[in-house]
Amino acid sequence: MKITLLESPDWKDYELLDSGDGLKLERFGPYRFVRPEVQAIWRRGLPESAWQDVHGVFQPTSEESGGHWDLRKKIDQKWVMGYKELKFWAMTTPGRHLGVFPEVAAHWDWSAALIQKAGRPTKVLNLFGYTGLASLAGAAAGAAVTHVDASKKSVTWARDNQVLSKLEQKPIRWIVDDALKFVEREGRRGVKYDGILFDPPKFGRGPKGEVWEVYESLPLLLKACRDVLSETPLFVALTMYAIRASGVHLYQSLDELMRPFNGKTDAGELVARDKSCGRLLSQAVYARWET
């Protein structure tokens, strides 16, 4: 197998300005933020003045994703960002994120191109869909999309992004549910999908308190996803953050899942390029299959 490093070079509203000393300096639209990044073990490239001239710094607590924003300049409660034809709302959140994972745009472009190339009606399932950008990219490309997330707040945010992108007429089902339970029900109903995207967390809870623990739950979800794939699937993409797995592990899991179909699997890392000196910062590992 070949390990691939995927960049998303077409961003205009996002930049990784610098990284180092366990931090990253980023621009989201008109605002500059500093967030923790434990993998940035090198020295910073920009002078200290660049790191001080920011709108906000996320101050983590001892908890894995807990903390608070130290806002040093006035910012809007939410602001509009764009990627190609998509528009979406960005805002600071208690979980250090701002409504978008920019490096995943590589998957949006890849899946949208496969949907357009297929030239036939396509159904896509987006699990752990967060604020809906992968769902919007798929719908804009011509697919009927089912978007699933356990967070009602995230699904509401995603629907607001649909309106902002002027894609209200596109066929998107917005579902607040536990991903595994939903896929198992779809399998029993005989519902099939031509493409599946999923970005599972390390740990989470469904809307009814269902527990998601990635090492125990992901094998069950992969098995359930096999039952809802159409006879001629187009793609499957699995992306994972903050875990001790590698692209090799994801490749082997996905390749086993898709072995009955005629296609190819690749795996690697989603990376962002540091504008200060061109370094690559790994943000996630992935595996994906296409026909």
Domains 8-90 and 102-290 share a fold: no
Residue partners of 133: CB distance under 8 A and separation at least 6: 83, 86, 88, 100, 104, 105, 108, 161
Taking only the tens place, the pLDDT of each residue in 165-200 is 999 999 999 999 999 999 999 999 999 999 999 999
User: Does residue 244 surpass a pLDDT of 70?
Assistant: no
For the whole model, what pTM was predicted? 0.95
Architecture of domain 102-290: 3-Layer(aba) Sandwich (3.40)
What is the band of 242 on the pLDDT scale with cuts at 50, 70, 90? low
CB atoms within 10 A of CB 173: 11
Are 201 and 180 contacting, i.e. CB atoms less than 8 angstroms apart? no
Can you give the pLDDT at residue 243?
A: 61
Phi/psi zone of residue 268: left (φ > 0), alpha (ψ -120 to 50 degrees), beta? left
Instruction: Round to whole Å and give the CA distance between 187 and 257.
Output: 15
Chain mean pLDDT for the chain: 94
pLDDT value at residue 220: 95
Six-digit token string for 37: 């990044």
What CATH architecture does domain 8-90 belong to?
Answer: Sandwich (2.60)
Average pLDDT score over residue span 225-235: 97
Sign of CA dihedral 281, 24, 151, 211: positive
Judge contact between 288 and 238, C-beta under 8 A.
yes
Q: Domains of the chain: which residue ranges? A: 8-90, 102-290
Q: Examine the pLDDT at 98 and tell me if it is beyond 70.
A: yes
- Which pLDDT belongs to residue 171? 98
Q: What sign results for the dihedral spanned by CA atoms 211, 212, 215, 219?
A: positive
> Does 64 score more than 80 pLDDT?
no
What is the rounded average pLDDT of the residues 251-280? Answer: 94
pLDDT for 6-33, tens place per residue?
Answer: 999 999 999 999 999 999 999 999 999 9
